[in-house]
Amino acid sequence: MSQFKFWNDVNTVLSLDGPITKGPQPRYERKKMSSNSFNLSKQRSLSSSSISVTKTPCKTPLRKSKTPTPNKTGRTPAGDRFIPSRVASNLDLAHYKLSQDPNQEESSAKKELKRMLNENLHCNQRVLSYAKKAPAASEGFQNPMRVLYSHTRTPASVKAANRYIPQAPDRILDAPDIIDDFYLNLMDWGSNNVLAAALGSHVYLWNAGTGNIEQLLELEGNDYVCSLAWIQEGDSLAVGTTEGVVQLWDCARAKRLRVMAGHSARVGSLAWNSYVVTSGCRSGQILHHDVRQREHVLATISAHSQEVCGLAWSPDGRHLASGGNDNMVNVWSAVSGGCHSNNTPLHTFGQHQAAIKALAWCPWQAHVLATGGGTADRHIRIWNCNTGTCVHSIDTKSQVSSLLWAQNYKELVSGHGFANNEVTIWKYPAMTKVADLKGHTARVLHLAMSPDGSTILSAGADETLRLWKCFVKDPLKTKDKEATVRARPSALKQCIR
């Protein structure tokens, strides 16, 4: 309330033409008033004295004469000293006037100057415009140039991790002729600790334990390998090609087991669920192949209108996620008692604004899915597939090409394209940045994790594979865990004491 009162005061003061109602009276007015009263009392006393003189001249002349003294009127005499009274003065107002007035005068002077300048500058011209204006873009439209400007900004501060994450890669391998195509999946690290990488028309196997490299296959003609996927357990590798076939290889014997046709275009994504290999095609079709049977096609799903570039089965085998170039993510539930999915999606998520290649299921919460969008979208979204809701969404400011969940820590790894070509580690569920691993000179295309979960491998368009040892288990912490388990019986000792 007090500020309203103050502003009322200010307003009344600022209307300079009206009478002054608030604030201390000027000195000359007070002086006039007090001198008036003094004169009045004087006059009255004089007259009374004169009356007393005429009525009773000799009875009590002394007492009568005392009353007319000006001191007895009870008023302070009007002297030449000014003693300010704090009650009567408005200090707020005084301060306001002291501090504001000169500025205001100046600004009005400036305005005047501006007006004069304008008049002089534009003395010979008029500014005209057509009255019917062109409409603005529709509400909610965002400037598409935003993508160009906000690429390099990092969204979240890199939080100090409580463990050491090496900023340089542990090892760098050459990957000549790796195809720089966002829609392919050219790398997989199997449970047998063998990394399969497709370089052009070749597939190489790199044994991470021994360091041996062998060539598994070479396609003929202009064909190239579009996707690779290791079976969950074992030495079987599925290879998708430009011809639209899925080849099955036994890598222990380096022998092709079978060729499964069915697609009309290249097979850009593969995912295993037990004996079923699911393949996604450029035509938008998803096929489920039963690798044990002669009639291998279990189901054909046409839900995506464009190339399927991401496929992932959840670790418990109950859900399949597929992402396409049509900016859609579909989640399918497995048929009861089978290892392939239903023909109708359980959830369809259309929130991404670009192709979704990066898909990853959370290893410790089976219903949590992470998805990442391409250049126009750049978001990582976390979904709860039980409820079909988006739990988290974070703008990474650059293309998300790959996503992985850490096994040893509650963290998420993402591979990015332009502008920093970095691999980023995120804390889950806070989604704060833990570390940025920089080094690739072109965009990161694929990510893979070693079977023990300690090492990340990133394949870049700069034809290198970089190994990052960023999830090494903390020996102290694992010891601590064992210690707590062992310490439990000691509670008994405490009781005794």
Partner 1 sequence: MAAAVKNKSAINVKGSANIVCDYLNYGINSILFQRGLYPPENFSTTENYGLSILMSTDNKIKEFLSTTLGQLKEWLVKRMVNKVALVIANVKTLEVMERWDFNIEYEGNAEDGETRTSEKPLKQIKNEIRDVLKQIASSVAYLPLLECLCSFDLQIYTTNDVDLPEEWAVAEPANVRNAQSVKMRSFSTNIHKMETVVTYKNDD
| d(C-alpha 343, C-alpha 37), whole Å | 104
Q: Does 82 bind partner 1 (CB under 8 A)?
A: no
Nearest approach in angstroms of CB 146 to partner 1 is 6
Selected binder of partner 1 within 103, 129, 222, 490 (CB under 8 A): 129
Comparison of 107 and 215: residue with beta carbon closer to partner 1: 107
CA dihedral 15, 20, 21, 25 (to 10 degrees): 150
Q: Does 130 bind partner 1 (CB under 8 A)?
A: yes
Q: Does 153 bind partner 1 (CB under 8 A)?
A: no
Nearest approach in angstroms of CB 150 to partner 1 is 8
Considering only 124-132, 236-244, 271-279, 360-368, which stretch makes contact with partner 1 by CB under 8 A?
Answer: 124-132
Comparison of 124 and 484: residue with beta carbon closer to partner 1: 124
Q: Residue 354: CA atoms inside 13 Å, Cβ hemisphere, count? A: 20
Nearest approach in angstroms of CB 147 to partner 1 is 10
Q: Does 149 bind partner 1 (CB under 8 A)?
A: yes
Nearest approach in angstroms of CB 111 to partner 1 is 14
Nearest approach in angstroms of CB 153 to partner 1 is 11
Q: Does 131 bind partner 1 (CB under 8 A)?
A: yes
Range 438-472 burial, b when 16+ CB lie within 10 A, else e: ebbeebbbbbbbbeebbbbbbbbbbbbbbbbebbb
Pure H helices in 151-225: none
| d(C-alpha 371, C-alpha 400), whole Å | 9
Considering only 33-41, 75-83, 148-156, 228-236, which stretch makes contact with partner 1 by CB under 8 A?
Answer: 148-156
Considering only 130-138, 175-183, 296-304, 346-354, which stretch makes contact with partner 1 by CB under 8 A?
Answer: 130-138
C-alpha distance from residue 33 to each of 26, 38, 45, 76, 299 (Å): 11, 9, 18, 12, 106
Nearest approach in angstroms of CB 118 to partner 1 is 7
Nearest approach in angstroms of CB 401 to partner 1 is 24
Bridge partners of residue 356, in order along the sequence: 373
Comparison of 63 and 133: residue with beta carbon closer to partner 1: 133
Query: Would you give the DSSP letter of residue 138?
Result: P
Q: How many residues of this chain interact with partner 1, rule: CB under 8 A? A: 26
| d(C-alpha 352, C-alpha 372), whole Å | 8
Report the 3 state secondary structure along 7-70. HHHHHHHHCCCCCCCCCCCCHHHHHHHHHHHHHHHHHHHHHHHHHHHHHCCCCCHHHHHHCCCH
Strand residues in 190-341 grouped as ranges (E): 194-199, 202-207, 213-218, 225-230, 236-241, 246-250, 255-260, 267-273, 276-281, 285-290, 297-302, 308-313, 319-324, 329-333
| d(C-alpha 137, C-alpha 45), whole Å | 87
| d(C-alpha 387, C-alpha 116), whole Å | 67
Selected binder of partner 1 within 55, 59, 86, 132 (CB under 8 A): 132
| d(C-alpha 198, C-alpha 179), whole Å | 8
Q: Does 486 bind partner 1 (CB under 8 A)?
A: no
Please choose, from the candidates 190, 273, 274, 278, the residue with its C-alpha nearest in 3D space to the C-alpha of residue 237.
190
Q: Does 145 bind partner 1 (CB under 8 A)?
A: yes
Please choose, from the candidates 96, 185, 80, the residue with its C-alpha nearest in 3D space to the C-alpha of residue 459.
185
Selected binder of partner 1 within 59, 81, 86, 146 (CB under 8 A): 146
| d(C-alpha 336, C-alpha 265), whole Å | 30
Window 48 to 67, contacts with partner 1 (CB under 8 A)? none
Comparison of 237 and 354: residue with beta carbon closer to partner 1: 354
Considering only 68-76, 119-127, 340-348, 420-428, which stretch makes contact with partner 1 by CB under 8 A?
Answer: 119-127
Selected binder of partner 1 within 87, 136, 160, 496 (CB under 8 A): 136
Selected binder of partner 1 within 19, 57, 79, 135 (CB under 8 A): 135
Selected binder of partner 1 within 81, 86, 133, 493 (CB under 8 A): 133
Considering only 50-58, 123-131, 170-178, 213-221, which stretch makes contact with partner 1 by CB under 8 A?
Answer: 123-131
Selected binder of partner 1 within 11, 99, 143, 162 (CB under 8 A): 143
Nearest approach in angstroms of CB 402 to partner 1 is 28
Positions touching partner 1 (CB under 8 A) are 118, 122-137, 139, 141, 143-146, 148-150
